Amino acid sequence: MPREILRRILMGVVIVDGDVAFLRLSLTCQIFREIVSDPKFREQAHLIWLDSVVNWCAFSRKHMEEFRVPYALSQCLHCTEIFKDCPPGYVGDGRRGVLRGFYSDKDFEGYCSVECFFNDGGVFPE
């Protein structure tokens, strides 16, 4: 099967199943892992998800430029696990049409969770 056709099929799986599909597909075979690990693939999947949960026409161009941005994969400063480092903005599980909420702040820069932040000696700024 041509790689581009396989890429489109896998994109459909990710859009339906959400973030959990990245792990499942990457464990299936080497070719799937290469496709879903590609940063361009991940960015496209994220933007397709984001466009499915936000009606950009209802917002200003500035709002769209600020919040229609891809996430990054980062390594936690405490536990060293790789995590989905979302910029301030819309958050969900990557499934089409599923939105958890809007977060305008990023309180624990570099950490995967509040627990890792505090376990590493972090304190809230006053």
* Residue that wins the pLDDT comparison between 30 and 126: 30
**pLDDT tens, 78-90?**
999 988 888 888 8
Domain residues for the domain of 98 are 3-119
Task: Name the domain count of the chain.
Answer: 1
27 pLDDT tier (thresholds 50, 70, 90): very high
In a domain, 125, yes or no: no
Beta partners for 103? 89
105 pLDDT tier (thresholds 50, 70, 90): low
125 pLDDT tier (thresholds 50, 70, 90): low
pLDDT of residue 83: 85
In a domain, 126, yes or no: no
In a domain, 95, yes or no: yes
pLDDT of residue 126: 59
pLDDT of residue 5: 95
In a domain, 46, yes or no: yes
C-alpha pair distances (Å), 125 with each of 107, 108, 122: 10, 11, 9
In a domain, 124, yes or no: no
107 pLDDT tier (thresholds 50, 70, 90): confident
**pLDDT tens, 35-68?**
999 999 999 999 999 999 999 999 999 999 999 9
